[in-house]
Amino acid sequence: MDPSPLLLILALPFIASLAVVLLPSASREPPTWVAGATMLACLACSLALYPSVGAGEVVRYTISWIPALGLDMTLRMDGFAWVFVTMVTGIGFLVVMYTRYYISAEDSVRRFYQLFLAFTGSMLGVVLSGNLVLLVVFWEMTSIFSFLLIGYWHHSQGARDGARMALTVTGVGGLALLGGVLIIGHIVGSYDLDSVLASGDAIRSHALYVPALLLVLLGALTKSAQFPFHFWLPNAMAAPTPVSAFLHSATMVKAGVFLMARLWPVLSGTQEWFVILGLAGMASLVLGAYLAMFQHDLKGLLAYSTISHLGLITLLLSLGSPLGAVAAIFHMLNHATFKASLFMAAGIIDHETGTRDLRKLSGLFRYMPITGTLAMVASAAMAGVPLLNGFLSKEMFFAEAVETHADSWVDIIAPYAAVLGSALAVTYSLRLIHSIFLGAPPESFPREPHEPPFWMRFPVMFLVVACLVVGIMPAQTIGPFLHVAVASALGSATPQYSLAIWHGFNIPLAMSVIALVAGALLYLGAANYLECAERAPIFGRIQGQRVFERVTVAISWRWARMMQETFGTNRLQAQMRLIAVVAIAAGAAPLLLSGLGLRQARPIQLDLAFAGLWIIGAICAVAAAYLAKFHRLAALALLGGTGLATCTTFFWLSAPDLAATQLVVEIVTTVLILLGLRWLPKRSEAFATEEGWLSRLRRSRDLAIAVAAGLGMAVMSYAVMTRDAPDSISRFFVEKAYSEGGGRNIVNVILVDFRGFDTLGEITVLGIVAITVFALLRRFRPAPDSIELPEQQRIQRSYDDADPDRDAGTTKMEYLFVPAVIMQWMFPVVIVLAAYLFVRGHDAPGGGFAAGVAMAAGFILQYMAAGTRWVEDRLRILPVVWIGGGLLIAALTGLVSVLLGDPFLTSYFRYAEVPLIGKVPLASAALFDLGVFSLVVGATVLMLIAIAHQSIRRLRAARLEEERQKWN
Amino acid sequence: MDWSRHLLVVPVLLPLLTGSLLLLIGEVRHTLKALISLASCVLLLVAACALLRLAAGLPETGGALTASYAVADWPAPFAIVLVVDRLSAMMLVVTGILALASLIFSMARWHSAAPHFHTLFQFLLMGLGGAFLTGDLFNLFVFFEVTLAASYGLLLYGSGTFRVRSGLHYIAINLAASLLFLIGVALIYGVAGTLNMADLAVRLPAVVEADKPLLYAGAAILGVAFLVKAGMWPLCFWLPSAYMAAAAPVAALFVILTKVGAYSLLRIGLLVFGPAAGEAAGFGGTVLLWGGMATIAFATFGILASQTLGTLAGYSVLISSGTLLAAIGIGERAVISGALFYLVSSTFSTAAFFMLIELVERAREPAADLLAVTMEAYGDESEEEEEREDEQVGVIMPGALAVLGLSFGVIAILLAGLPPLSGFIAKFAMLTGMLNPAGLGDTAAVPGRIWGLVALVILSGLAALIAMMRSGIRIFWAPMELIVPRVLVVEVAPIVALLTLCLMLVVQGGAVVAYTDAAARALHTPATYIQSVLGVSPPAGSAP
Amino acid sequence: MELTLAIAIGVITGSGVWLVLRPRTYQLVIGLSLLAYAVNLFIFSMGRLRIGAAPVLGPGGAGSAADLADPIPQALVLTAIVIGFATTALLLVVLLVARGLTGNDHVDGREKR
């Protein structure tokens, strides 16, 4: 048979929802028509499928989606699903028809139908899913769209809160359901509904059955607003009435019980299932009915009665008996019909009178007799009056309740709860009818009420007629469909049952009579009390949403903040400490666990001079650490001391390149920091606050960390140094450096050839940093307290002012005059030195980097000697161009080889003809090195200038200050 | 001659050339710079896709699953080698898409706010490309540094007190991490005598027993460096404020940075200390698992407690990296496959979120045009003033509010991992992988810590949902009338594009999962990788 | 010799770590520079120590791996030095700017309450 209608049923609503988006935003009629047509089309499709479904076969349609995860687009329609689809689409159509007259002029019809249609699609998806994961997908989508629908009037606080609560509760449920489905999938080995339904015993007997059950039920109960998660439904009444009529009677809340019935063959029949569902159902049944009595808001009453009726269904499913399941499914349909009609009637009343408050409403019957009649019949069905559909399912319910299914107190009190629940149902139904339609009309309504237009009333009428017809001749009308549904839902467990109205005098009948009479009496007795009671005694005090709000605020706000502050920090010191500790731990763990094999593989030679060198170096380091807080300059000098010791070590231990580079870098770094020092705030021991024992403790902890880190590094390096070197890849370089790399200085050849790629990255870093520094300092704002001239310059200035025949700044010019001149003469020398370093690089220690830094040092010397202005007046250096150019040269040098078909950066020394020993090597690597040189010069100079420039800016600021003082 | 073999070096070379070229162009010529930068980004993406096709082993590319490229033409273990396999190709494509999106976004105003935006941007891309491609430990360090240096520049881009303060933290912490990186690499070299990852994997079993502890110590310290960058609790506190401080397009691009750390862990973890490595197998996996779980938990609380959208986004970055780390810690093929899917999805959605935030904030109080503020406060020279002018260019988005609202909703669903978007598929893929490591039908009992992780992943989604819902309602449903923001098309387009991609991930779910599955399988069989790096004689040849 | 160097590395590291844990930005910079020295020496030491065996080949490329110091750590250190220099400079400037913007020199930009 052709399964395409199945796909259509699912796809049409979504397509329509998207189509509505394309309509102009102000349009009112077109969206309505689209929606109505969609509903009808879906209905038609499902009717078209009835022949095959009615014949008991299961229609499937599968689109492969993500087979690797066992997740496929499997649609599956059996009788049960068919009944639901028909109900959803049918009532959906009626609601659309109703909405056309309900929705007011200022509301956006387009947005309403976008959401409405999308929701319908998701709901149909839930019903039709043949794969549990797919079911979860649509399940969550219903939550999302119902959130948006409840929040349709989001300008009102109530709507926002209601929507938020609904999504939070159902969202939690949905995630729980996902967990449950994952477990079921793990047990069964498939998410496909058929294979899951086939392996009920495996699931029930599995160790993970209880968690799976709990999670699935959490999902179902939250969705169906069952105790203790019922509180979101009354708050969801802030939604437009059509939404309530559709979501909160026929579809959304039914999804929960639908799921329970779906998985009934798999999960039911155990003690856990019975107790959990039994309690939840019973509590919802009684509590819902009880609270419904006390509602003054018409929709609130209906909401609580919905909770109560769904509780009835849950209770029926909990019993685990096939007949119970039949009754449950039957009641799902009945409840949908009468509750939808009642919601719509409520909407009409609200629409006509402008209020939903039972205390304000009265005597409406004479204004709208037809609507009144319909509403009365529907309420009667809700109360379970004979000859109406509500009566039949309730009879079945009673019959099941008296049966014993499991010897537990839940089972014993079930019948009493059942009677009590339906008695209260009678009471609130009576209250609804009486206080709205009967009695004397009040002197004034907010609006003068009259009958609504026929087509607004038609949906109500249709449904009420359905209630009657089903109630009078069930077997002929609903019988076959119900049977198909039951047979497919229960499978082999399908029992014998009769849909007759009259089963003779028996206990269930007695129970109904008791319930009706008791309910009526209760209303007669308590009518006035109910009318004026502020809220229900005892249970009324427990405000579900209040509790909810408190909990959410507590968890998602206070606790979260607390946890965040406890386990997190924004302070740099703490983070550094953590990093240090974690790193030490990481390094120490392997060494401690599997022991550090300290092997004396190499002879230890001790060199006193070397030791002496490092005694000084170490003292410098420690002293720097000690003085860095209050004596910055001293600390800097000491840092330099350590640096020099490092240089010497490199030189000593046969690494001349390192020594040279370290030295030049040393110089530049020191100059940089010197330039920076001037902007830091003054700090002297005088202001040092006396720290308490706490900070002393903190310091000793830091000291411990520092010692541990030092120890770790020392041990590791010693351990490695005293081992034989592994057969390292360096041998290759030593062998190839000259023969193929064309350089005798292996280190340099590695840098510009073997590992030139590293160098490329390295110089890029330098360039990036330089331009970053430049960009940063351009926005530099010195702190107010370091604006004024340095003390020394102020002294000079005052000296000038004191002496009449000296004008300001002369002393400054003369200051360090001789050294300045010498430094200026040094410039050419420096350039030559740089050139020399560069040229010899490939064969002897030196190279582009050292040369570049030396060159930059030459520039900075000029700055120091003659001041920023003087230098920049005389030589234009465009550092940024040097940087960009350098990078380009380096990269393009590498690219040449690509043009010649070799990999990037291939060096071409070996193809040069000239014998090169002792001469300038014409290796392309040298060109690369030129790029390095250019970049280094550019970058270093740029950084130095950027900092040096600040003094000018500062001067400008100071000068402005002086101007101001001069003028006033 | 055969140019395709040079494809591997393009992701590094192209941004480098573009970036240095841009340095030579006058500073005020924003439009020209932007166009050049854009062109290079497009080319980069094209190259990445080509590499993806190469790595996916499609027949028309000769079915090469892993290709290697010896830079400077020296044989593999000695010189630096670039390697592309499914994983790195995937990362490159994600980077390319992200770069294109945030670059287009930045063209509305940010790119002209301060000097050298495009240069820094390109250099960041260069660093990322190198980090994803290189097969050499020290070279990896160098490219990490390139990436970081550029990221420092971009984070501080536009200056401002908050930026500089969190920039200081960011730099200090990353400097410490880099030092750890060096120590780790040095130790490994000192013991194993090689820097090439594949070579290391080969040499590891041969290392003398007594030396192994030192080697592991080195690897562990290296791991700490990666964890700092990947943002694992308790090394992650710098992350939210840094990302919040960055300019919107920069923050969007930064989303990939944490993934670099995760990538390195995955690469080195499975290549060197993978199943093949004998007793060293699963080195530190437990640490990753627990650390990842701690990260998720911490970030979950953080996301709940966040008051501004910025913090919310920052903590969602943390959640995703925590999830990734935990998944890597488990190391099962199925989980890794899911994690890769998750990586793509979460990267796109978070990046879109960062960009959206700026527009939404603009919608809330139109005066608070971030840029304008920084300009007033910190721009002193005149050139910034005239830079403000080209802020007016571009088409203004009609119906902006609706689009923003919709995008916000979609992002909320993505972050919460709710159906039907890719966030859900990703989480489901990971979860089902965790419960059924050997595929569905694997009835082996699941250990408790895995259950804990499953719960955490689901709960973190719930937290994201609650937080997003709270701020979404506050922003879009608040009763007072919202000011319709001045939003340019170029600003909305990238967001919408990224979200559309997330949708495509769902529609094409089958293909994507197939790819990530293959990638995970390749990671679990390092032999192919090693073979293509060391085994093949022609340097730039690609393994059959 | 090995012992001396190891101890030296340890001491420098210790002082560096101590400074890095201090609250003043200047201490941070000095500390990181010290750590950079320590790490450079550490990397260098990974190639074992040699005296008078600079990795520079004689004329005609004479010399073999056996009697030359390991060049690779030296190359690595060179790269590390450059990068360290760059990042130190950047940090210095950032702390100057931070000092300018926040008005103090605490690493968190605000004095502890």
pLDDT per position as a tens digit, A384-417: 888 888 888 888 888 888 877 666 777 788 888 8
Q: Which residue has the higher pLDDT, B87 or A796?
A: B87
Cα separation, B437 vs B327, in Å, equals: 12
Quick check: B191 and A726 CB within 8 A?
Answer: yes
B149 Cβ under 8 Å from any chain A Cβ: yes
Name the minimum distance, in Å, from the CA of B276 to any CA of chain A.
Answer: 20
Which chains form contacts with chain B, at 3 or more CB pairs under 8 Å?
A, C
Find the helix or strand (DSSP H, E) in which A850 lies: helix A848-874
Question: What pLDDT is stored for residue A952 in this prediction?
Answer: 65
Out of A495-504, C21-30, C94-103, the most confident range is C21-30
Name the minimum distance, in Å, from the CA of B392 to any CA of chain A.
Answer: 23
HEC sequence for B486-519: CCEHHHHHHHHHHHHHHHHHHHCHHHHHHHHHHH
Quick check: B477 and A151 CB within 8 A?
Answer: yes
A832 in Cβ contact with A825 (< 8 Å): no
List b or e across A950-965, with b for residues whose CB sees 16 or more CB atoms inside 10 angstroms: bbebbeeeeeeeeeee
Cα separation, A426 vs A626, in Å, equals: 87
Burial of A569 (0-12, 13-18, 19+ CB in 10 A): middle
Closest alpha carbon within chain A to B140: A758
Kindly tell me if the per-residue pLDDT of A499 is higher than 50. Answer: yes
C98 Cβ under 8 Å from any chain A Cβ: no
Non-local (6+) Cβ contacts of A511 within 8 A are A398, A401, A402, A415, A418, A419, A422
Question: What pLDDT is stored for residue A582 in this prediction?
Answer: 93
Find the helix or strand (DSSP H, E) in which C36 lies: helix C25-45
A614 Cβ under 8 Å from any chain C Cβ: yes
Residues of chain B with pLDDT under 70: 1-3, 58-66, 72, 275-283, 363-398, 479-485, 536-544
B324 in Cβ contact with B341 (< 8 Å): no
Question: What pLDDT is stored for residue A727 in this prediction?
Answer: 80
Q: Which residue has the higher pLDDT, A422 or A676?
A: A422
A463 in Cβ contact with A341 (< 8 Å): yes
C25 in Cβ contact with C95 (< 8 Å): yes
Where are the alpha helices (H) located in B107-211, listed in sequence order?
Answer: 117-133, 137-155, 161-192, 197-203
Pairing between β-strand B81-84 and β-strand A59-66 as defined by DSSP bridges: unpaired
Instruction: Indicate the SS3 state at residue B527.
Output: helix
Size (chain A), residues: 968
Cα separation, A226 vs A221, in Å, equals: 5
Ordered DSSP codes for A115-168: HHHHHHHHHHHHHHBSBHHHHHHHHHHHHHHHHHHHGGGTTSHHHHHHHHHHHH
Closest alpha carbon within chain B to A566: B298
pLDDT tens digits along C3-48 = 888 989 999 999 999 999 988 888 899 999 999 999 999 999 988 8
Out of A210-214, A487-491, A674-678, the most confident range is A210-214
Out of A581-595, A808-822, A948-962, B53-67, the most confident range is A581-595
pLDDT tens digits along A322-361 = 888 889 999 999 999 999 999 999 999 888 888 888 888 8
From chain A residues 764-803, the ones with a CB under 8 A of any chain B CB are: 764-765, 767-769, 771-772, 774-776, 778-779, 781
A889 in Cβ contact with A767 (< 8 Å): no
Which residue among B156, B183, B195 places its CB closest to the CB of C42?
B183
Quick check: A754 and B13 CB within 8 A?
Answer: no
Where are the alpha helices (H) located in B197-284, listed in sequence order?
Answer: 197-203, 212-230, 238-245, 248-271
Q: Which residue has the higher pLDDT, A159 or A501?
A: A159
Residue in this structure with the two tokens 């022609």, named with its chain if needed? B538
Cα separation, B40 vs B128, in Å, equals: 15
**Average pLDDT in chain A:** 83
pLDDT tens digits along C35-91 = 999 999 999 998 888 777 777 777 766 667 777 888 889 989 999 998 998 988 899
Structure-token pair, residue A720: 């490695």
Cβ contacts of A767 on chain B, cutoff 8 Å: 20, 23, 123
Ordered DSSP codes for C2-35: HHHHHHHHHHHHHHHHHHHTSSBHHHHHHHHHHH
pLDDT tens digits along A101-116 = 888 877 888 889 999 9
pLDDT tens digits along B101-158 = 999 998 887 877 777 889 999 999 999 999 999 989 999 999 999 999 999 988 888 7
Count of alpha carbons within 13 angstroms of residue A673, beta-carbon side: 26
Structure-token pair, residue A180: 């449950």
pLDDT tens digits along A683-716 = 656 555 666 788 888 888 999 999 999 999 998 8
B205 Cβ under 8 Å from any chain A Cβ: no
Cα separation, B24 vs A12, in Å, equals: 58
In a mutational test of the A interface, the residue from C24, C25, C26 whose CB has the highest number of chain A CBs within 10 Å is C26
Structure-token pair, residue A283: 């509590």
Quick check: B469 and A167 CB within 8 A?
Answer: yes
A624 Cβ under 8 Å from any chain C Cβ: yes
pLDDT tens digits along A432-455 = 888 888 877 776 666 777 888 888
Quick check: B189 and C97 CB within 8 A?
Answer: no
B355 in Cβ contact with B105 (< 8 Å): yes
Q: Cis ω on the peptide bond leading into residue B115 (within 30° of 0)?
A: no
B214 Cβ under 8 Å from any chain C Cβ: no
Q: How confident is the model at residue C104 (pLDDT cuts 50, 70, 90)?
A: confident
B529 in Cβ contact with B66 (< 8 Å): yes
Nearest CA to B213 among A206, A712, A948?
Answer: A712
Size (chain B), residues: 544
Where are the alpha helices (H) located in A902-923, listed in sequence order?
Answer: none
Cα separation, A501 vs A59, in Å, equals: 33
Kindly tell me if the per-residue pLDDT of A8 is higher than 70. Answer: yes
Question: What pLDDT is stored for residue A814 in this prediction?
Answer: 61
Name the minimum distance, in Å, from the CA of A137 to any CA of chain C.
Answer: 46
Cβ contacts of C110 on chain A, cutoff 8 Å: none
| Distances, alpha carbon A507 to alpha carbons A511, A548, A668, in Å | 6, 41, 102
From chain B residues 380-399, the ones with a CB under 8 A of any chain A CB are: 380-381
Which residue among A716, A734, A766 places its CB closest to the CB of C86?
A766
Non-local (6+) Cβ contacts of A138 within 8 A are A122, A123, A124, A125, A126, A129, B419
Kindly tell me if the per-residue pLDDT of A213 is higher than 50. Answer: yes
Quick check: A710 and C10 CB within 8 A?
Answer: yes
Residue in this structure with the two tokens 């550092």, named with its chain if needed? A879
Quick check: A718 and C3 CB within 8 A?
Answer: yes
HEC sequence for A245-285: HHHHHHCHHHHHHHHHHHCHHHHCCCHHHHHHHHHHHHHHH
Side chain identity at residue B435, one-letter code: L
**Which pTM value belongs to this model?**
0.91
pLDDT tens digits along A915-946 = 444 444 556 777 888 888 888 888 888 888 78
Structure-token pair, residue A447: 């609006």
Kindly tell me if the per-residue pLDDT of A178 is higher than 90. Answer: yes
Quick check: A709 and C26 CB within 8 A?
Answer: no
Cα separation, C72 vs C84, in Å, equals: 18
